[in-house]
Each structure stands twice: as structure tokens, then as C-alpha cells.
Amino acid sequence: MEHKYTFSFEKLRVWELANSFAILIYNVTKTLPKSEQFGLVSQMTRAAASISANIAEGTTRTGGKDQARFTTYAYSSLMEVLSYCILSNRMGYLSDHHLTEVRQSVRELSLRLNNLRKYQLSKYGKDSNASGNMVEEGFAEYFTGEDNFNDVSASFQRPKDKFNVRRTIQPYFVHPTAIIDDGCEIGPDTKIWHFSHIMTGAVIGERCNIGQNVVVSPDVVLGNNVKVQNNVSIYTGVICEDDVFLGPSMVFTNVINPRSAVNRKSEYKKTVVKKGATIGANATIVCGHDIGRYAFVGAGAVVTKAVPDYALVVGNPARQIGWMSEHGMRLDFDNKGRAVCEGSGEKYVLIDGKVEKEAD
């Protein structure tokens, strides 16, 4: 069938190869047993199809660094497919002939993806406003020649520091899909997972865990041993002290009255989450209201005022319904204002509406 219009990614040889590779994988997986239909077959075909999809999506991006990121995703999916094929072969599901066929295709596609990524970074790495339509600028001709790399895995390296993606040697872990901007401070033994973005000026302490799809905005400060679960955006103005837990999809704000047409960057409000505090899943912290030491904000709560140390708050708007120990257990105070944590045995005292832990 003839089409009057062809999108830019359709003109890329590497995209065509990725499509052919996906068809190959769909065909070879037909030899796998039916018991693997929702196991290896599903994983292999999904990953194979995502290679060309990521290449196509990359052509819609404007900066070379952003385009290269999607090429990296494509390469990661390619390696994922190869790993599944090797496993299938060792389990007797995939023949040696099919595995050899897959390996040959993987090698060619790897080299071309590597070239694609190098081109994106070299041509657009210094120009964030560059056009995303690479084909019209002679991109297709760049891939007509032979590659001269002897080692695919060695040739597909991360960009150098000048492209602001990753330090070569680092005392912390960063997943390949995460983005770390220049000018961040990240402590040793911290882990940053899939699709997260740490922005310039952010400070992250030691032994932190940053989950998937997390954004840490400029000038945010996270102390040591902070746990950030998936899908959390930590905006400028937020400070989390040591041992803070931020539950999945919880929300910070930094402006009281946002409007799209009104620039209020000078009005960001500061929010401090103090040592040991826990904020539950899907909770919202309205900016300017501090969360006290070892306080516990229940799932889905909407905090509209400051939360005292050790307080347990729930609901919308959040209201205090009790007290929590440093161990995360509910405290039941007697008529003398004393309580013992069931988890740790530590003792607490309630005086004038404030809780303190008794010294050992």
C-alpha cells in the first residue's frame, strides 16, 4: 500500500532493522511451549517490539541528549531480548540455529544503535534547540557505511561527562535509564532507579534509595538513608532530614495558588520533613507545613497544617488521631502520660501535648 506521507523514523535503516528483528523474535517464539505464552514469549515479544518504538519516539525529541536517551532504551531492550533467548536455549525451548540467527541480528542492530547514539550526541549534544527531524538533515546517509567496532558491548558506552549524563566512576548506583544532571551532590551507597531525574543543585545524602520515576528538583536536600518510593516528585523548597520515608505517589507542592499564566518561582514555600518521619502512599503535603520528627502521615492524607513530632495524622484534611513511636508502632499512653513501644520496648512520655522518648 502506498502512503502519501512518510514519517521521519520510517526512513531510518536502523528502524527497519529493528522491525525485522521484532518479526524474527515473533517467529522464533512460536517454537516455545504454550506454557510460556505468558512468560518468556510475552517478555521476548514485548521487549523486541519496544526497540523500534523507542527509536521512533526518539525522533520526536528536540535535543540530542534526549534523542540519545531513547536510543539507549532501544539498546537495553535489545540486550533484554538476547538474554531471554539465551535462557530459552539453555532450557531447551529455542534451537541452536535460532539462537545463532538471533545473535547475528543483535550484533548488526547493536552496531547501528551505537552509531545512532554517537551521531545524536555529536550533532546535537551542544544544541538543546536542534531539530528532531534528523533524516532531512542527512541522517540516513550516516548509516549506509560499515561499522568498524570489534566489540559491541565495549563500543556501546555511556557519553562522556561533557554530555551531562553520568560520571564514569561513582560511589553510588544509577540505573541506565535515570538522568543525573551536572551539579548534583549524591552520597555513597545511594541507589537511583529506573527513569528518575536528579536535577542540577539537588543534594542527596548517603544510603538513600530513589525509586522509579522520581524527580528531585533543583536545590532539594535529602539527608542520609532517605527512602523515596516510585512516582514521587520532590519540588524545590523541600528538605528531608535523615531516615525519612516518602511513600509511593505521595505529593509535595511548593506554591499555594498556582496559575499557568503567572510565574511564581519567587514564591516557592519551604517544607521540612524532619528526621524519621513517614509519609504514606498518595498523601499530599500542602507547602509551607513542616512534618515533625518521627511523625506518621497516613496514606491519602492531605496535610494543611504543621504536624507535631511523633504525631499520627490521617484524612482530608489531615487530623491527628494518635502518636507513633520511632519504631513505627502506635503508642498507647496511660493516665500518667507514659507509653512503651511494643516493637522496641522504648519508653515515651507525653507532657503538655508533646511526646518525647525517655533516655535509656
- pLDDT at residue 80 is higher than 80: yes
Verdict on whether the full-model pTM lies above 0.75: no
User: Would you say 273 and 291 are in contact if contact means Cβ atoms under 8 Å apart?
Assistant: yes
User: Would you say 344 and 330 are in contact if contact means Cβ atoms under 8 Å apart?
Assistant: no
| Residue range 97-124: mean pLDDT, rounded | 86
The pLDDT value recorded for residue 2 is: 56
Q: What is the pLDDT of residues 296-309, one digit of tens each?
A: 999 999 999 999 99
Q: What is the pLDDT of residues 227-267, one digit of tens each?
A: 999 999 999 999 999 999 999 999 999 999 999 999 998 99
- pLDDT at residue 334 is higher than 60: yes
| Residue range 109-116: mean pLDDT, rounded | 88
What is the percentage of the chain residues whose pLDDT exceeds 90?
Answer: 70
User: Would you say 48 and 28 are in contact if contact means Cβ atoms under 8 Å apart?
Assistant: no
| Residue range 95-116: mean pLDDT, rounded | 90
The pLDDT value recorded for residue 122 is: 77
The pLDDT value recorded for residue 160 is: 37
- pLDDT at residue 281 is higher than 90: yes
Q: How far apart are CA 188 and CA 108, in angstroms?
A: 38
What is the percentage of the chain residues whose pLDDT exceeds 70?
Answer: 85
Q: Please, which residues bridge with residue 234 across strands?
A: 216
Residue in 258, 256, 226 with CA at minimum distance from that of residue 244 = 226
Q: What is the pLDDT of residues 314-324, one digit of tens each?
A: 999 999 999 99
Looking at every residue in the chain, the average pLDDT score rounds to 85
**Cell output for 87:** 535462557
The contacts of residue 53 (CB under 8 Å, 6+ apart) are none
User: Would you say 113 and 74 are in contact if contact means Cβ atoms under 8 Å apart?
Assistant: yes
The pLDDT value recorded for residue 167 is: 38
- pLDDT at residue 145 is higher than 50: no
| Residue range 27-56: mean pLDDT, rounded | 92
From the number of C-beta atoms within 10 Å of its C-beta (0-12, 13-18, 19+), residue 70 rates as: buried
The pLDDT value recorded for residue 8 is: 81
- pLDDT at residue 171 is higher than 80: yes
Domains (ranges, CATH) in the chain?
A: 8-136 (1.20.1440.60), 165-329 (2.160.10.10), 330-360 (2.20.70)
- pLDDT at residue 149 is higher than 60: no
DSSP 285-320: E-TT--B-TT-EEPTT-EE-S-B-TTEEEETTTTEE
From the number of C-beta atoms within 10 Å of its C-beta (0-12, 13-18, 19+), residue 346 rates as: middle
- pLDDT at residue 166 is higher than 60: no
Q: What is the pLDDT of residues 42-74, one digit of tens each?
A: 999 999 999 999 999 988 887 788 888 899 999
- pLDDT at residue 4 is higher than 70: no
Positive or negative, the CA dihedral 14, 19, 22, 24 is: negative
Name the band, by pLDDT with cuts 50, 70 and 90, for residue 123.
low
**Cell output for 127:** 544544541
